[in-house]
Amino acid sequence: MKTVELGRTGEQVSHLALGCMLMGTTTDEPTAHRMLDRYLDAGGGFLDTANCYGWFLQRGSRGGESESVLGRWMARGGRRDQVFLATKGTAMVRDPDAAWAGRDDPDWTIARRDFEGAGAQTLRRNIDDSLRRLGTDHIDLYYVHVDDLSTPLEETLEALAGIVRAGKARYIGWSNVRTWRLERIRGLCERNGWPAPVALQQQHSYLRRRAGLEHVSIVDDEQYDYLRHHDDLTLVAYSPILKGIYDDPAKREGHWAMDPYQGPDADARLAAVTEIAAEAGATPNQVVLAWLMHQERPRVVPLAGPRTLEQLEAALPALDVKLTEEQLARLDAAGA
């Protein structure tokens, strides 16, 4: 497992991070512990979770299941010092029961209207609760999970500065945020001497979102260009293989994960990645992960979030996929 610098902090993190969202709900605890052990054995150490994982995966969940599973795993054999631990606050809904009421799946309209937000009191409560569940005295990377337009940025950033000053978090990051807001955040941090984000966690894959789509969470051309010119921010890419659709043409037919990408550009890029996977003796999913890890401007850390040990085992060979300059050029050039 290679490492990559987080922003310009000097901190080296695993180039393939492990997303722990499903642990404790969709993935039972014994399986989660086996996956964590396997990732550690493969040389990995960058773990990503959030305080809200996973109220939306299981009716009756209050959030915090993933953090609790990680806390128990780290306590077993003193693993805390072996990992770089990231978690998030601000996105938990106030009343998950209302979002689930009478439905087979949660109502995201209710959830997006009723999330806790990034007020100072909420942030201080969120991180203390996360520290308790995780069984640690500090978080290595603490994200604002959902950009909160209703709370003054000054309030959020001053609270985060206090959290860092108190030693409860080492670095801060932001997720699900537009570029203009990111620039404003960075400007306020510079003017006030507050710690600035060193990581941006957004949805990012080999496919590019379709033209005209408004989507706060998927990297667009402007944001990608911004990151190319600001190497103090590392892009942590969630959903890098889009639920595994690259490997399975039948799966991507009508799959919700494909909806933001549908069109001729996606068709051309899917054809390119399939062709190069055959040349490389790898799966298309593995080639996508390898392509992301080949990126240098900006640096990208793909975040694999497997549900099963088998899915993790299928992702790990991407670490050994070597793409030639010619193959990388063809992948980059594919599409409209």
Q: How far apart are CA 67 and CA 240, in angstroms?
A: 22
Give yes or no: 53 in active site: yes
- Catalytic hit among 39, 53, 238, 261: 53
Angle at 57 between CA 303 and CA 174, to 5 degrees: 40
**CB–CB of 185/199 below 8 Å?**
no
Question: What residues are annotated to the active site?
Answer: 53
